[in-house]
Structures are given as C-alpha cells and as structure tokens.
Structure 1
Amino acid sequence: MSWPMVKLHDICRPKQWKTIAASSLIASGYPVYGANGKIGFYSKFTHEFPTLMITCRGATCGNVHISEPMAYINGNAMALDDIDRSKVDIKYLYYFFLKRGFDDVISGSAQPQITGQGLTKVEIPLPPLLEQKRIAAILDKANDIRQKREQAVKLADDFLRATFLEMFGDPVANPKKWDVASLLEYGSFKNGMNFTKGESGSVLKCLGVGNFKSLATITCMDNIDEIELNTLPSDDYLLKDGDIVFVRSNGNKALVGRCLTIYPNKEKVTFSGFCIRYRIEKSAITAEYLNFLFRTPSMKRQMLSGGQGANIQNISQGTLSALRIPVPPLDKQLAFAKLVDFRASILKKQYDKMSESEKLFDALTGDFFIFNE
C-alpha cells in the first residue's frame, strides 16, 4: 500500500533545549533525559506530555527514546516538539525511526551529531491515524516479548552473581577466610601474538578485544574473525577449552581487565597481543569459579589499581600473578560449576527465543516500512 510521504518538519518542530549541568541535578523531581535516557532529576520540566527524542550528540547519535510525561529533555537529545497528535501517533513514529535509522543525517566524525537542518531531509510514510495506531500496537507486542526475554537473561545472570557471593563471599574481603594463593600456583600466563596484515598462507581465527563485549564465555567461534599468517603459531598460542582470556590493553580503559572463558573445542583459535591467556594446569581450581571471581567489582578494582591505589592503563602477567586469590574447597567450586552449566543450558534456550523474537520484530518492521527502502 502506498501512503503519502511527509517531511518531518511538516509534522513537528525539532528543538534542542538548554542542557542542565550535572551539578544542577537533584535527588528527586522531574526526570531529566540526556543522550541515552534518564540521567537524573530537576525542579522544572520542558514537556508536559510524552515526547519523542533523537540522540543528537556522541557515539549513540541517532538513538530514539520516548520520555515520561512532565520531563526535562536536555540539549544532547533533539526533542520533536508540537507533534499534531490528531494526525501522528508518536509510537508509530518511534518504530519508524528504529527501522529507518539516521546514518544519512549524522554529520561529523570525531563528534557525531544530528542537527535540525540535517533532519529536513527526513521523510515519513504517513498512513491514517488509526492505521498508525494499529501498526504501533502490533510492534508494541513484539517488542514486549523481546524485552521480557532480555529481562529473563539478566535475571539469570543476577541470580548467579548473587549465588557466587553467597557461596564464596567477596573475593577481596574474603570473609569466609579461604586460603589465598597466586594464580601461578595453579596455571600459567601467555601474552597474545602480534602479526602483520601482509602475512599469508595459514588461516585461523583470532580472539580480539572486539569479541569480548559483555560476554562471560564464548562457545561458538562463528563471530571470531579469521587472520592469515605465514605459518601457524606454536601450540601455546592456540586456545584450549577452559582458557581464561583477559584484555591486557585498550584505548577504552573500561575494557582493560575484562575477561571471558573460551571453549574452542577442536577449532584452531589464537588470541590478540592485546590479550593475556591464563591456562589452568591443576585441578584444584575451576574456570567457572575464576571467571566469576574476576568479574566481581571488587576484584576488578583490585586488579586495575595494581595494588597501589592508582588506576592503570593496562594490566600485565605481573599484575595478575601478584593478586591473592581465595581458593575455596574444590567441592564447592564444582557445585558452583554445575549451577553455571545449568544456567548456560537455560540461557541457550532463552537466546534461541530472543533470536526468534528479534527476527519477528525485524520482519514486522520490515513489512510495515518496506516502502521506505
């Protein structure tokens, strides 16, 4: 069906409101929206009714949100003011923008931005209001399914983190008085390999910092990029099941110290020079236990302080081997490992369902907005 195309500026008035300094935010009041949702509260509001906004500055430029009523929208988001709600449903507009994106509108490379002038090129297919509401209601249901499955995954993660602390206590405070030791007593470290792009002849996958994201484990190698080398690396550069890999160095300090456990099975996978591999060589400690230990906030802080209280830009084998790690009895570690395995089986089902719901949502938005492509 062909619907009339209208200019965004013909149905609303994009506006950047004054940005509130962080020091002016208060503990309670009217919610304040920044580039990525709520950032605090203020004593005044700019918008009485729910308002659609587009992130217009920074790395998340082009994200869309709908505010609560009685909210303040600051200058890092472009508020779409004065929408004629007798002709336009903002939920319909929200889902259209999710599908459309703003890649053709964003300007600037060092600091991406969207301007009111840039938005003048945006056109919207505008069916009758009742049809807009029908489309939005269908997409609301699909989106709700997607979000509930994401919440189920988060709850499973939160439960396991809480269980870890209940079973073992905080690893830095060590309230249960477990014996402590250096990781070198139970295994060995290896820095990742460096290579040049001009090499050729032998192909294998290489785990890099970009693969970590928020993952705790990797069991499928499909998303790990291949590299080409003149010759295959020695075996100690190839990852094995249960290896724990740390981000050693990165321009983004938030990534330094992040870790995951990898299970490549029989696939040949090496790891980047920006990473450190730890391999368990004694059965007195488990990968599941260490994985959760190193992802607790207190241990992460301890690791990044280098034991000296000052934040550091990178970690080393020396940094990691200097840490004193609580080592609970093996039977307790194995009991926790069983919980991790059970959670993994549950999460696999949830991820499969999430993938299905993502495909459903993408298919529905594609069906409704295919005329825009």
Structure 2
Amino acid sequence: MSLTTILELPSKWTIVEVGKVARIVYGKGLPSEQRAGEGGIPVFGSSGVIGEHNKALYSEPSIIIGRKGTVGSIYYVSSPFWCIDTAFYLDSISSSVDIEFLAHALRKIDLSRFSITVGVPGINRNDIARTQIPLPPLPEQRQIVAILREADEIRCLRKQANEKCREFLQSVFFELFGNPDPKLNDRGWEIVKLEDFLEVGTGGTPSRSNLSYYGGTYAWVKTTELCDSIITSTEETITEAGLKFSNAKIYPENTILLAMYGQGQTRGRTAKLGIPAATNQACAAFLPSNELLPNYLWYWFQNSYENVRDLARGGSQANLNLSILKKLKIPKPDLNLQQRFESLVYEYLQLKALSTTSLDKTDVLFKSLLSDAFTGELTSTWREQHQEELVAAIAERDQSLQISQPVDVEDVANEEASKSKISELHHDRYELLRSLSKSQREIYGFVIQETTYFTPEYLEEKHSISRSLAQKSLQLLAGTGLIVPITLPTLTSSGLRYELAYRNLNKDDNTQYTDDELLTKDAV
C-alpha cells in the first residue's frame, strides 16, 4: 500500500501486514481416494471444495488462500475443514480483526499479482505475510462486513435466478425432445446425419504478418469466444483483404458455432451468431436450416457436450474435425415442437437480457461498495456517530497489535526500506512481477516454459492471444529484463531478412537465473 493511500485513510485506521494479524499455514496433502467419499468435512484446494473427508485438519473459522494453480483465490470457511497442500489457511487470527473483513481485504488486494510462474503458478507465503491492509477499529470492520454481506446476498440471489432460468430451459428441452443421445432417445424421432440436412463449414486466419488484414469491419470469431452464448461482438475484426486472402468467410446470423479444438474445456463449446461474422479454422459453423432449427441444434450440442468431445481424435491433444461433425447423428424431432422450442428460447433470452442487466448492476454496486469500504467512505457517517465506541476499540486494537498511534508516514517509509530479509535481487524481482497486469502475467506464464524462440505470431497460434496484445506484452517483458529480444535471420526471395523474436534468459545472461532459483526454493 502506497504512502499516498496511507495519508488518505481515516485517522482512526491503521496499516498492518497480514502476517501481523494471522499465521499463514501450509495445507496438508490428502490422497484423492480419501476425499472421494461423503465424510461431511469439506476438503479445500486452491480452486475451492474438491471433495469430502471424515476428519478435519482445522476446526476454527479460517480463510483458504490458493497457493498453486488458482493462485490467490480466497475462501472464507466458518466450519471445520481440511486444506490440501495446494493452498494455505490462516491460523491464530488476531482478536482485533474480523475474519470476514480480512477475507474481503485479501480479495480486494488481488494476491494473484504475486504469482511466480515457474512451471505451475505459485505464490510465496512471505509475499502474503508482507502484504499491507488497512485496518479500521473492530466495530467499524463489523459494520463494513454487514453492509457487504447484504449486498452480496442480493447479488447471489440474482445469480441463482439466472441459473434457475437456464436449468428450466434445459428441462424443457428434455421434456419436448427426450434424451439428446440418439442411442438413448425413446421418442421415436428419425435419426439423421447433420450433413444431410444442413451445411457445415469452417473458417480461416488471415496472415498475422500483414497488419492490413486486421481492424476492419468484419467480425471474426475465435474459439476462446465460444462459451454457450450469443455473439454480438468480437475481440478482433478483419478487413475485406483479410477475408479475400484467407479461408475465412462470413456466416449469417443464427449460425451455430462449435469449437473443434482448444485448451481445457474449450473443445465442444458453442455459440450462436447474433451478427454476421467470420471465424477462424478452429470453429465449425452449422448454417441455419429449415428442418433442424438453430435453437434446437444449439441446445442439442450444449446437452451433448461430453458425447461430442469424446468423438475427438488425435494424440496428445485430441481434436474434432469437419468430417466427424458432418457425420454426427442427431434426433430430428417434429418441426412444430422445434418451433415451439424456438419461441421458448426467444422468451428466455429476453428475460435473461433483463436479468443480466440487473446482475451487472448488482456486481457494479458490490464492487463500488468494496472499493469504498477500504477507503473509509462506506462508513464515514457511521464513524461520526460512534466516536466513543471507536476510541475504546482503538486502544484494544493497538495494544493487541503493539501499534503506536498515530501512524507516522516517515516511520512507515523507513520500515519499508529496511525490513526485507530476502536478497535485493529477490525484492527487485518481486516488484517486477507485482507490476505486471493480469494479461501480462498470463503471457509471461506461457513464454517462461518455452525452450526455444517465440514471437507474437507464435503466441497467437498456440494460445489464441491477439497479436497486438502479445506484441505489446513481449516488448514490455523484454524492457523489464524478464525475456531477451533477438533477431532471427530469414531467407526470402529478396534476400536475407532479420525478424524480431524473443527467448528466455539463459543461466549466464544475468542475475535473474539466480533469482529464479531463490524464488523457487524459498516460495513454492
């Protein structure tokens, strides 16, 4: 926390390091077979609850912090739990801190910025311990928690309403059409091949080396944008030339898209075009048909997600292809039922649009309240009305934490300058990683695993990152000394040409290698 921020805090607040108000404890490993049953005790990892066990590792209210994988994730736990070794949990939480307030403070800070990406992303508990948070007197903390809890309950109710609407439409699909699996469907529908009733196509990627192909008026969809929703805008656009000199083509509104390959859960995900758009070659496009209506087809794919994914072929990264998809067999229900489902989907989407707007507003409200909570604005009126109560609480807090009031800005600065026990290299490295944005950290996580040269074009093709973002991020990483810019000789028809590329640091390039070793040994 900067000195400017400290100066802006209410006079009755102080600044403390997380390590001063709680002990950060490593979780304990638990074999997967011991957390696969119904023991009643939730087992937490960095991504949340991952199973149940019959014994608790810790029985007091606590906070789980993601250590590896989903770095910096925060879960408040009010009942006994087990925490595995991909996460930390907090112990010995000071009586001067409301645990729910501390959880909100840690979420607001975004601990993922401290992620150290050497293989699996991880976080050093010393970085968490050194992190500073604003600390109001205990009664004010509780008032902040009460306000945020009420706002969060409203937000959760809205999310639950959205989920109920989605589940309702899924139930309607099964009620009208039966099981989407042709082998299990007992409605007597004709089973047909997709290629016999609609056109199936794909797209292309204009050359990334020609900037004139991008930034035009044609929407261009990538598989990372397929998330079972309607596409009304795209991350990138292409020009007439990009369309002409590639395999990309414009598909009409109501075309159903499906990801043929992609990382993680991407393969098999869908979208419906709400606008005319082109796609890259990783998308399959199912054009509108009068016999297999768009919404029936769309929800059939969504309800057949696992079955469609299982059709993929290949080695280490299995993919779908047009040949497989064209020969897909699907029940062909009565057209009147399909039309009825079309009307229900239309009504649902209208309701969802209104609900999403409402949810967006509750999210904005919560984020605004959260921001105000840690500047003192949220409770400014309440604070004026509870002066006597706060004075007594401040004395208890300062005695408990051994704080001298008021906070002296010069003392804070001196402490920050002298307290670090780690090497100066470690500190510089820590500050560099901390300064990266989320997207820059993600890109750094990709490139640090590369053993050869890499370029913006390479990152776009391998990780579906836009070329402009990759180019800017690589330039920044090179400027901070985290990677090395080089030139690669390329033989062209006009002679030898040198192109800009990048590589990771070698052991003898500079002191970063030593720093990486220190971080790995010390942290994760």
Q: Do both proteins adopt the same fold according to a TM-score greater than 0.5, normalized to the shorter chain?
A: yes
Question: Stretches of 4+ moved more than 4 A in 1?
Answer: none
Match of 1:171 among 171, 174, 180: 180
Structure-1 residue corresponding to 2:166: 157
- Looking at structure 2, the residues matched to 199 and 230 of structure 1 have their Cα atoms a distance apart, in angstroms, of 10
Matched-pair contact (CA < 8 Å) for 1:106–1:118: no
How far residue 29 of structure 1 moved from its aligned partner, in angstroms, is: 3.2
Matched-pair contact (CA < 8 Å) for 2:261–2:319: yes
> What does the per-residue CA deviation read over 1:296-327, in whole Å, with 9 as the maximum and x for residues that have no partner?
1xx3343233399x998111111111111111
Matched-pair contact (CA < 8 Å) for 1:304–1:311: no
May I ask how many residue pairs the two structures share in their alignment? 358
Determine which structure has the larger helix proportion and give its number.
Answer: 2
- Looking at structure 1, the residues matched to 248 and 26 of structure 2 have their Cα atoms a distance apart, in angstroms, of 55
Matched-pair contact (CA < 8 Å) for 2:255–2:294: yes
| Structure 1 residue 240 corresponds to structure 2 residue 252 | yes
How far residue 17 of structure 1 moved from its aligned partner, in angstroms, is: 2.4
Cα separation, partners in 2 of 1:271 and 1:109, compared to 1, 3 Å: farther
How far residue 236 of structure 1 moved from its aligned partner, in angstroms, is: 7.4
Cα separation, partners in 2 of 1:205 and 1:42, compared to 1, 3 Å: same
| Structure 1 residue 21 corresponds to structure 2 residue 26 | no
Letter in 1 for 2:251: L
- Looking at structure 2, the residues matched to 114 and 339 of structure 1 have their Cα atoms a distance apart, in angstroms, of 47
| Structure 1 residue 216 corresponds to structure 2 residue 221 | no
| Structure 1 residue 321 corresponds to structure 2 residue 330 | no
Secondary structure, counterpart of 1:284 in structure 2: coil
| Structure 1 residue 30 corresponds to structure 2 residue 21 | no
Matched-pair contact (CA < 8 Å) for 1:276–1:317: yes
Structure-2 residue corresponding to 1:116: 125
Secondary structure, counterpart of 1:143 in structure 2: helix
**Greater Rg over alpha carbons, structure:** 2
Secondary structure, counterpart of 2:55 in structure 1: coil
How far residue 225 of structure 1 moved from its aligned partner, in angstroms, is: 2.2
Match of 2:292 among 273, 285, 300: 285
Structure-1 residue corresponding to 2:192: 181
Cα separation, partners in 2 of 1:236 and 1:333, compared to 1, 3 Å: farther
Letter in 1 for 2:257: V
| Structure 1 residue 80 corresponds to structure 2 residue 90 | yes
> What does the per-residue CA deviation read over 1:323-345, in whole Å, with 9 as the maximum and x for residues that have no partner?
11111111100101111011111
Matched-pair contact (CA < 8 Å) for 1:194–1:272: yes
> What does the per-residue CA deviation read over 1:94-131, in whole Å, with 9 as the maximum and x for residues that have no partner?
11122110144221243111122221320111100000
Matched-pair contact (CA < 8 Å) for 1:181–1:325: yes
Cα separation, partners in 2 of 1:157 and 1:316, compared to 1, 3 Å: same
Unpaired runs of 5+ residues, structure 1, are none
Cα separation, partners in 2 of 1:122 and 1:307, compared to 1, 3 Å: closer
User: Cα RMSD over matched residues?
Assistant: 2.2
- Looking at structure 2, the residues matched to 46 and 277 of structure 1 have their Cα atoms a distance apart, in angstroms, of 50
Unpaired runs of 5+ residues, structure 2, are 1-9, 377-524
Match of 1:45 among 38, 56, 71: 56
Cα separation, partners in 2 of 1:301 and 1:54, compared to 1, 3 Å: closer
Secondary structure, counterpart of 1:49 in structure 2: coil
Structure-1 residue corresponding to 2:450: none
| Structure 1 residue 65 corresponds to structure 2 residue 70 | no
Structure-2 residue corresponding to 1:197: 208
Match of 1:259 among 265, 270, 285: 270
- Looking at structure 1, the residues matched to 102 and 129 of structure 2 have their Cα atoms a distance apart, in angstroms, of 16
Secondary structure, counterpart of 2:158 in structure 1: helix
Structure 1, 151-160 or 185-194: larger mean CA deviation: 185-194
Identity in percent: 24
Structure-1 residue corresponding to 2:280: 272
Cα separation, partners in 2 of 1:200 and 1:39, compared to 1, 3 Å: closer
- Looking at structure 2, the residues matched to 300 and 313 of structure 1 have their Cα atoms a distance apart, in angstroms, of 15
Letter in 1 for 2:278: T
- Looking at structure 1, the residues matched to 309 and 82 of structure 2 have their Cα atoms a distance apart, in angstroms, of 37
Matched-pair contact (CA < 8 Å) for 1:200–1:228: no
- Looking at structure 2, the residues matched to 29 and 246 of structure 1 have their Cα atoms a distance apart, in angstroms, of 39
| Structure 1 residue 131 corresponds to structure 2 residue 136 | no
Letter in 1 for 2:51: G
- Looking at structure 2, the residues matched to 113 and 53 of structure 1 have their Cα atoms a distance apart, in angstroms, of 15
Secondary structure, counterpart of 1:108 in structure 2: strand
Matched-pair contact (CA < 8 Å) for 1:306–1:312: no
How far residue 347 of structure 1 moved from its aligned partner, in angstroms, is: 0.6
Secondary structure, counterpart of 1:144 in structure 2: helix
TM-score (norm 2): 0.65
- Looking at structure 1, the residues matched to 52 and 211 of structure 2 have their Cα atoms a distance apart, in angstroms, of 56
Matched-pair contact (CA < 8 Å) for 1:31–1:40: yes
> What does the per-residue CA deviation read over 1:244-272, in whole Å, with 9 as the maximum and x for residues that have no partner?
111011133x221222111105xxx2111
How far residue 75 of structure 1 moved from its aligned partner, in angstroms, is: 1.6
- Looking at structure 1, the residues matched to 280 and 46 of structure 2 have their Cα atoms a distance apart, in angstroms, of 33
Match of 1:101 among 90, 98, 110: 110
Structure-2 residue corresponding to 1:361: 366
Matched-pair contact (CA < 8 Å) for 2:64–2:90: yes
| Structure 1 residue 294 corresponds to structure 2 residue 305 | no
Letter in 2 for 1:107: I
Matched-pair contact (CA < 8 Å) for 1:35–1:56: yes
TM-score (norm 1): 0.90
